[in-house]
Amino acid sequence: MQSELSHLNEECGVFGVWGTPDAAFLTYTGLFALQHRGQEGAGITINDDGQLRTKRGLGLLNDVFNAADLEQLQGQAAIGHVRYSTAGSNLLENIQPLPFNFSDTQFALAHNGNLTNAETIRKNLEDRGAIYHSSSDSENLMHLIRLSKATTLDEQVKDALRTIKGGFAYLLLTKDRLYAALDPNGFRPLVVGKLPNGGFVVCSETCALDAVGATFFCDVQPGQLLRIDESGLSISAYTTDTQLAICSMEFIYFARPDSDIYGVNVHSARKRMGALLAKEQPVEADLVTGVPNSSLSAAMGYAQESGLPYEMGLIKNQYSARTFIQPTQKLREQGVNMKLSAVKGVVAGKRVVLVDDSIVRGTTSRRIVKLLKDAGAAEVHLRIASPALKYPCFYGIDIQHASELIAANQTLAEMRQTFGADSLGFLSVPSLIKAVGLNTGAPNGSLCVAYFDGKYPTPLYDYQEQYDQEQEKLRRRDEPKHVTTSSY
Ligand code: AMP
């Protein structure tokens, strides 16, 4: 099943705070540190003595909020959201937090992730009379909470959490408490911090804790429901059927390098990915360069391991947003041009190892190889610090169709040719797992690597049919097109 709904709520950032007089300002500051997780919309809901008020809008945080807005949003608790969406879903009604005003109470909801049974739930609930305010899958949780027959709000929330499937880090603000919940696989990151004044913060990444002066308290574990209120923080489990499978793309690309996920620093993990890539995919060359900013850590690791000089072969215009985060392919392509330039004085006449963190559609790779060649590079050896993305993801990153993924459609040799590179090599899945180095005992080093190997840690629910059809289409092609991890 594939519709508008399933395109919503991709990678986003959430931030919540409880028990501090400057809640709106801290939420703004925390969201600013999470801006890399979504740039198409932002919002804050404040709890002002039991009254919830929401301001949200399209664009970057600074497009939506000015100093006067923050002045007006006075309160002791708040939740906020930065949103990443894809074509067609850029509607104000979908910008989070989603506010709900019932006759007896108010709620606000912020969600990072993607639900895999959202359409089924919505259809069932609409058949029973539910009226949705948005086309966002996140809204399901609210309807399920309201329809639960349990007698306490805690149990209603748990009931609802047991019904939804997929990837989710949820924040729910009410008049007298803040809930935070993580899906049973912990696909999305979610951490808790403490403010010096005793207040609590729950947010997507530790970089936002640092930004607001909070100290790290704990990672939220898969299947947990946290409740923060006047009496402090209490943690319970809404399910014990859990297994950590954190999205490996968080380590590869999404998260900020200064964040730690389950105790692993993201920059250091990327450096190890680069170092293992140098071991697996060595090449004779004069220098190593990265693609600012997301692959710089991996490029450093490659350079250190290979003994080649690390150079600044490409620079990024500081004033452009991430290129993938654009609604259309044409804009994406224009975005790459506006964003990156080659440093001729560095690369002219040189054999360059160009390290990027990942390849999705291949747009960036084509551009960056050409940029270096146009600047006079003698050879460009493209090295990717992650395995080839061959399968879609349904847990909250924006790759829902195999048809979008160049590695699902071209062999390694074809891709090398498409990019105009002199050679091309990817990191292997075992090396990715080793580089991250999480040792919780869960399969695949506690990572989700389904987009590399097609082995999903959960049923796909509403997406199964679409997935089967797409895979069947790929199978029916003349010859197997999937790449190996060896270089070409
Ligand atoms: P593409 O140009 O489509 O191949 O996109 C690849 C680039 O986008 C990589 O260099 C990454 O830095 C970045 N990227 C990788 N995965 C994603 C994703 N799921 N969402 C947004 N950006 C991504």
Q: Which CATH number is 454's domain given?
A: 3.40.50.2020
Do 227 and 99 fall into the same domain? yes
pLDDT for the residue 89:
63
Do 193 and 290 fall into the same domain? no
Cβ of 444 below 6 Å from ligand 1: no
Extract the tokens encoding 301: 């690791």
Cβ of 451 below 6 Å from ligand 1: no
* Ligand-binding site membership of 320 (annotated): no
Do 238 and 198 fall into the same domain? yes
Q: What domain range is 424 assigned to?
A: 265-476
Distance from the alpha carbon of residue 358 to the mean position of ligand 1, in angstroms: 6
Do 329 and 218 fall into the same domain? no
DSSP string, 270-299: HHHHHHHHHHHS----SEEEE-TTTTHHHH
Do 411 and 331 fall into the same domain? yes
* Ligand-binding site membership of 356 (annotated): yes
Last residue of a domain, which of 254, 279, 307?
A: 254
Cβ density class 18-52: b for 16+ within 10 Å, e for less:
bbbebbbbbbbbbbbbbbbbbbbbbbbbbbbeeeb
pLDDT for the residue 1:
33
Whole-model pTM: value is 0.93
- Which residue, judged by its Cα, is nearest atom 9 of ligand 1? 358
Would 488 be classed as within a structural domain? Answer: no
Would 221 be classed as within a structural domain? Answer: yes
Do 230 and 272 fall into the same domain? no
Do 76 and 36 fall into the same domain? yes
CA dist list (Å): 463 to 115, 124, 166, 182, 394: 10, 17, 11, 21, 8
Do 214 and 300 fall into the same domain? no
For tokens 């943690």, the residue is 235
Do 234 and 304 fall into the same domain? no
Non-local CB neighbours of 145 within 8 Å, separated by 6+ positions: 107, 153, 156, 157, 159, 160, 172
- Alpha-carbon distance of 396 to 114, in angstroms, equals 4
Do 230 and 336 fall into the same domain? no
| pLDDT, tens digit only, all 488 positions of the chain | 333 333 444 589 999 999 999 999 999 999 999 999 998 899 999 999 999 999 999 999 999 999 999 999 999 999 999 998 654 466 888 899 999 999 999 999 999 999 999 999 999 999 999 999 888 899 999 999 999 999 999 999 999 999 999 999 999 999 999 999 999 999 999 999 999 999 999 999 999 999 999 999 999 999 999 999 999 999 999 999 999 999 999 999 999 999 999 999 999 999 999 999 999 999 999 999 999 999 999 999 999 999 999 999 999 988 765 445 554 666 666 655 678 899 999 999 999 999 999 999 999 999 999 999 999 999 999 999 999 999 999 999 888 899 999 999 999 999 999 999 999 999 999 999 999 999 889 999 999 999 999 999 999 999 999 999 999 999 987 555 555 555 55
Which residue out of 364, 368, 390 has the highest number of ligand 1 atoms within 8 Å of its CB and is therefore the one to mutate? 364
Do 467 and 413 fall into the same domain? yes
Would 442 be classed as within a structural domain? Answer: yes
pLDDT for the residue 6:
37
* Ligand-binding site membership of 136 (annotated): no
Peptide bond into 282 cis (omega under 30): no
- Alpha-carbon distance of 14 to 204, in angstroms, equals 5
pLDDT for the residue 400:
87
Could you list the beta-strand ranges (E) of 23-75.
41-48, 51-58
- Alpha-carbon distance of 53 to 175, in angstroms, equals 11
Last residue of a domain, which of 254, 273, 307?
A: 254
Last residue of a domain, which of 219, 254, 289?
A: 254
Peptide bond into 140 cis (omega under 30): no
Q: Domain count for the chain, please give it.
A: 2
Sign of the torsion formed by the C-alpha atoms of 266, 249, 321 and 272: positive
Would 481 be classed as within a structural domain? Answer: no
Would 485 be classed as within a structural domain? Answer: no
CB atoms within 10 A of CB 324: 19
- Alpha-carbon distance of 179 to 162, in angstroms, equals 15
Cβ of 200 below 6 Å from ligand 1: no
Residue pair 332/323 in contact (Cβ under 8 Å)? The answer is yes
Would 260 be classed as within a structural domain? Answer: no
- Which residue, judged by its Cα, is nearest atom 15 of ligand 1? 358
The CATH code of the domain that includes 234 is 3.60.20.10
Do 295 and 425 fall into the same domain? yes
Would 392 be classed as within a structural domain? Answer: yes
Distance from the alpha carbon of residue 363 to the mean position of ligand 1, in angstroms: 9
Residue pair 449/403 in contact (Cβ under 8 Å)? The answer is no
Whether 393 is catalytic is no
Would 320 be classed as within a structural domain? Answer: yes
